[in-house]
Structure formats: C-alpha cells, structure tokens
Amino acid sequence: MQKVVLGLAGEIASGKGTIAKYIVEKYDGSTHRFSTMLRDVAGRMYLEESRENLQKISTIFRQNFSEDILSKVIFHDADNDAHPVIAVDGVRRFSDIFYLREMPNFKLVYVEADIEKRFERIKKRRENTDDAGKTLEQFKKDQEQEAEAQIRALKEGADYVVDNNGDFTDLYAQIDNIIKSYQS
C-alpha cells in the first residue's frame, strides 16, 4: 500500500483526534497535529495552553512569516514520516493544505458532528485549560474566532465528508472505507 495522508478538518470536538488515534492503533499509522507546534511554543514561553493563547500564537506566526508557515511544518513532518497511514489533525484553513495537496494520496476529510455533541465532548476531554468551565454559549462564541471561522468552508473542498453523530463503529467503518480505497 502506498502511503496515505488524511488531512482531518472539522469544527472543535468533531472527532478529528478520535480518528487520528484510530489510524495509529488500527493501521500502525501516525499523527501530526497543527496544535502541537503551537503548544510547544506556549510551553516554552510558560504560557497557559488555552484556546485563546494557541490562536494568538498561530496568528502571530501567520501574520509575521506567511499564511502557510504551519502548513510547511506539517508537510515536512508528514513527508518524512514512513508510516503507511498518516493523520494530519487540525486542518483549519485552505492554506493549511496548500503543500499537503502536493503529496501523492493526500485526501482532505471533513468531520461533521452536531454542536451539542461537540460541546459534551469538549467538556469531558478538557484538552485546553479553559474547556472545563465553558458554557454552551461560550462554546458557540469560540466557533466564530478567526482560527475557527474558515473551517466550515473546507467542507466544500473535502475529498470525503464523515458523519460523526453515531457511535465509534459507524465512525471507524467510514474511515476504513476511505483507507481501503487506497489498498489496491
């Protein structure tokens, strides 16, 4: 099988991380996250790893270096990765996939889930320091932040749209079907 690179896009807590974890476990794959480099910078600067701080760091890099600076990092990480299936978690804007589209077998996968389900997930996982105390209204407001605003538009350019309103079995079957299409 040729190397398959799946760019995972979707709104906050839509299931991108769940898919990435599944790819690692089932397909001996790997995952690269846009937020990892941002968290690295936040940690090095002793900043709280809040959604707001990570968005600010992203904006600073993109405004001062180039809109595709984060995409370049992810492209090189994925290109140098020898795993058979790679998940690129956290695609948020078209510039994020500019370089990735040059890779053979890169596909953009848009992950959908209802806002109420996504809100429940974010409260449970507490990935960012400010997630635990969030209200539904604050969560809805987060969807309108600059770093999140372009995500919905990616659905139109996606190679696949995955519905994550069901259970894990249904979600995994959709991912298996995508990957199987490259195994010949």
What are the structural domains of the chain?
4-180 (3.40.50.300)
Q: Which residue has the tokens 């270096």?
A: 65
Predicted model pTM = 0.86
End-to-end CA distance of the chain: 7
Helix (H) or strand (E) holding 109: strand 106-112
Contacts of 117 (CB under 8 A, 6+ apart): 13, 164, 165
Identify the pLDDT of residue 32. Answer: 97
Identify the pLDDT of residue 75. Answer: 95
Q: Are the C-beta atoms of 76 and 14 separated by less than 8 Å?
A: no
Q: Is the pLDDT of residue 141 over 90?
A: no
Report the DSSP beta bridge partners of residue 108: 7
Q: Which residue has the tokens 């595709």?
A: 68
60 pLDDT band, cuts 50/70/90, is very high
Q: Is the pLDDT of residue 172 over 90?
A: yes
Q: Are the C-beta atoms of 179 and 83 separated by less than 8 Å?
A: no
125-139 pLDDT, tens per residue?
766 666 677 888 888
75-128 pLDDT, tens per residue?
999 999 999 999 999 998 898 898 999 998 999 999 999 999 999 888 787 666
H helical segments located in the chain: 16-27, 34-44, 51-64, 69-79, 115-125, 136-142, 146-149, 151-157, 168-180
Beta-carbon count within 10 A of 62 CB: 18
CA-CA distance, 173 to 125, in Å (whole number)?
Answer: 23
CA-CA distance, 133 to 164, in Å (whole number)?
Answer: 24
Q: Which long-range contacts (CB under 8 A, 24 or more apart) does 17-21 make?
A: 17/89, 18/164, 18/168, 18/171, 19/87, 19/89, 19/109, 19/111, 19/162, 19/171, 19/175, 20/87, 20/89
6-52 pLDDT, tens per residue?
999 999 899 999 999 999 999 999 999 999 999 999 999 999 998 88
Identify the pLDDT of residue 139. Answer: 82
Residue of 17, 19, 55, 44 whose CA lies nearest to 33: 17
